[in-house]
A and B are shown apart, each in its own frame.
Chain A
Amino acid sequence: MKKIINAVDQVEEQMIEGLRKAYPKYVKRVEGTNVIVRAEKKEGKVALISGGGSGHEPAHAGYVGKGMLDGAVPGAVFTSPASDQVYEALKAVATDKGVLMIIKNYTGDVMNFEMAADMARDEGIEVEQVVVNDDVAVDGSLYTVGRRGVAGTVFVHKIAGAKAETGASLAEVKATAEKAIANIRSMSMAISPCTVPAAGKPGFEISDDEMEIGIGIHGEPGTHKDKMKTADEIADQLLDKILADIDFSGSEVAVMINGCGATPLMELFIVNNHVNDVLTQKGIKVYKTLVGEFMTSLEMEGFSITLMKLDDELKSLLDAPADTPAFKEI
């Protein structure tokens, strides 16, 4: 394993400190915890927290700031934060309008956030949650724990964050977040795996002429291996699955082409070139496009496509101002 780190057991700590020192205008760390909150707490609005394992930078701490999150809870690499950390975040951001937790659908994340919410409610903090499950790669049937939450979560941060800034109630912010989730679909692929520092070995093996389709965001293997193809063919493959899942015809969409950590931006633009053409040909209007690294998986080489089907409310919330370390909308 070759990584630019100092010690395996210091990875999370030094990342959090480095991030905090980079963006003092935006964020601060809650003392004695791993929790990142806005530099200046905003009262009078519903507070939003999210979190998950580290290794997804800039998610989630990079989205703490005006128009998006109020707090983020990073766990160990690819490991849900423990409930006591989530509880600290809930206490730190709570306002009298309550807190909404944006959780990605993983067993551990849901358990830890729910345990923390129970603890916070005991102290009179009003807490609600939404669970993001945008990944169409995995079967959402009764035989799994449901679809995973992946890069589409960043859209949920943006939409719910903008809604909260309007002064909407907790129930309203939750309802809007759920509407966004119902309209977001993603799918990912990778051509090389990533190595969790503490594990020291890649999460899967793959030969030079193969790709892994339907990967999650934790370096886990996908649903199947496939022969390597061209960018356009791969994009078609992912897009087909997304477009088959909900009816996008005639609608306007936001597109996110997300790099998994080691994918050149050049390649992401090549993918977007084709995705945009295909959507246009199908009569789906691209309202807004994001290309870049929003939800990474360490040094994994690959990408995801996310589509969010828009209505007037979602469009205006998407366009609302945001000013965070990793996401700005002017």
Chain B
Amino acid sequence: MTDSSKVLDIVGHIGEAISENAQFLTDLDAAIGDNDHGVNMARGFKKVEEDLPGLKDKDMGAIFKKVGMDIVSAVGGSSGPLYGTAFMKAGAAVAGKMEIDLNDFLKIMDEAISGVQLRGKAEKGEKTMLDAMMPARDAMREAAEAGKGIKEVLDAGVKAAEDGVEYTKTIIATKGRASYLGERSIGHQDPGATSFMVMLKAVADKYEE
């Protein structure tokens, strides 16, 4: 089980990972987007970091909702509404809980994905964050159903997300700003898929073997 202080610790670590990778994410975005993904995500998680102390002892729903709202208001662009909606929808799925288990985590992933799909009107294979999120969710569900522990489940998710990021190099973007480049987008990895991978890796970092 994961309690709220652990979740706050994990969210803080996600922020650190985003901040460490901000330049990398921005550079990826310069190639096929508009050169600001890392900058925007780092600004959003800075706001989240400021609000984390106030979320101590709050239930999971309140924590995720606040993180989502901070991301919507401080990130802007399309990543703001997309990741913000993902966190807010995840929060609604675990509202009232003071602890979450692996099943809850998988539910969070389901809701986050459906939030991104709803807001972004995107499907798998369009060179978006979904190309990392959906395979990661599927791999984690499979690992959980095979009776694996949380660490192994997360590692399976990270591996699938990494493969998903690699896959985005091979396809043409049909959603988001990269879609304007048409075939010129091939060969470049999707910045949104990459930022999701960075975030999931940060979650996995916080669990021991």
Residues on the B chain within 8 Å of A112, using CB = 76, 80-81
In the assembled complex, A61 has its CB within 8 A of some CB on chain B: no
With contacts A80-B77, A143-B179, A216-B177 known, what are 4 further pairs, Cβ within 8 A? A78-B36, A79-B40, A216-B180, A220-B34
Residue positions of B touching A, CB distance < 8 A: 26-27, 30, 33-36, 39-40, 43, 72-82, 119-120, 172, 174-177, 179-182, 184
Residues on the B chain within 8 Å of A80, using CB = 76-78, 80
Residues on the A chain within 8 Å of B75, using CB = 82
Interface residues of A in 116-146 (CB under 8 A from B): 137-139, 143-145
Residues on the B chain within 8 Å of A196, using CB = 34-36, 39
In the assembled complex, A97 has its CB within 8 A of some CB on chain B: no
Residues on the A chain within 8 Å of B184, using CB = 221, 223-224
Contact B176 A145 (CB under 8 A): yes
Complex CA gap A7/B76 in Å reads 20
Going nearest first, the 10 A-B pairs with the smallest beta carbon separation are: A108-B78, A144-B179, A218-B34, A108-B77, A198-B39, A111-B81, A138-B180, A107-B78, A79-B77, A79-B76
Residues on the B chain within 8 Å of A224, using CB = 184
Contact B35 A219 (CB under 8 A): yes
Residues on the A chain within 8 Å of B80, using CB = 80, 82-83, 108, 112
Residues on the A chain within 8 Å of B73, using CB = 82-85
Contact B77 A115 (CB under 8 A): no
Q: How far is the CB of B121 from chain A (nearest CB, A)?
A: 9
Interface centre among B26, B75, B76, B120, by most chain A C-beta atoms within 10 angstroms, is B76
Interface segment, one of A40-48, A158-166, A199-207, A243-251: A199-207
Mind listing 24 A-B residue pairs with CB under 8 Å? A53-B76, A75-B76, A75-B77, A76-B77, A77-B36, A79-B36, A79-B40, A79-B76, A82-B73, A82-B75, A106-B78, A107-B175, A107-B177, A111-B119, A111-B120, A145-B174, A145-B179, A196-B35, A196-B39, A198-B39, A199-B26, A201-B35, A220-B34, A220-B180
Q: Which among A75, A111, A203 is the interface contact of B30 at CB below 8 angstroms?
A: A203
Q: How far is the CB of A60 from chain B (nearest CB, A)?
A: 15
Q: Which among A75, A143, A148, A221 is the interface contact of B174 at CB below 8 angstroms?
A: A143
Q: Which among B74, B81, B181 is the interface contact of A108 at CB below 8 angstroms?
A: B81
Complex CA gap A139/B174 in Å reads 11
Contact B34 A219 (CB under 8 A): yes
With A112-B81, A196-B36 in contact, do A82 and B181 touch (Cβ < 8 Å)? no
> What 1/0 mask marks residues of chain A from 218 to 242 whose CB sits below 8 Å from any chain B CB?
1111011000000000000000000
Contact A76 B179 (CB under 8 A): no
Residues on the B chain within 8 Å of A83, using CB = 72-73, 80-81
Residues on the B chain within 8 Å of A107, using CB = 78, 120, 175-177
In the assembled complex, A302 has its CB within 8 A of some CB on chain B: no
Complex CA gap A81/B72 in Å reads 10
Complex CA gap A85/B174 in Å reads 28
Complex CA gap A75/B180 in Å reads 22
Q: How far is the CB of A103 from chain B (nearest CB, A)?
A: 13
Contact A84 B35 (CB under 8 A): no
With A79-B76, A107-B120, A223-B181 in contact, do A198 and B36 touch (Cβ < 8 Å)? yes
Contact A220 B35 (CB under 8 A): yes
Residues on the B chain within 8 Å of A115, using CB = 72, 81
Residues on the A chain within 8 Å of B181, using CB = 221, 223
Interface centre among A76, A81, A111, by most chain B C-beta atoms within 10 angstroms, is A111
Q: Which among A75, A76, A111, A220 is the interface contact of B177 at CB below 8 angstroms?
A: A220
Q: Which among A77, A81, A108, A144 is the interface contact of B180 at CB below 8 angstroms?
A: A144
Contact B174 A76 (CB under 8 A): no
Contact A111 B82 (CB under 8 A): yes
Residues on the B chain within 8 Å of A76, using CB = 36, 40, 43, 76-77
Interface residues of A in 150-191 (CB under 8 A from B): none
CB closest residue in chain A, given B80: A82
Interface centre among A81, A196, A219, by most chain B C-beta atoms within 10 angstroms, is A196
Residues on the A chain within 8 Å of B120, using CB = 107, 111
Residues on the B chain within 8 Å of A139, using CB = 180, 182
Residues on the B chain within 8 Å of A75, using CB = 76-77
Residues on the A chain within 8 Å of B174, using CB = 143-145
Complex CA gap A162/B135 in Å reads 51
Interface centre among B26, B36, B73, by most chain A C-beta atoms within 10 angstroms, is B36
Q: How far is the CB of A136 from chain B (nearest CB, A)?
A: 12
With A108-B80, A144-B180, A216-B180 in contact, do A82 and B72 touch (Cβ < 8 Å)? yes
Q: How far is the CB of A131 from chain B (nearest CB, A)?
A: 14
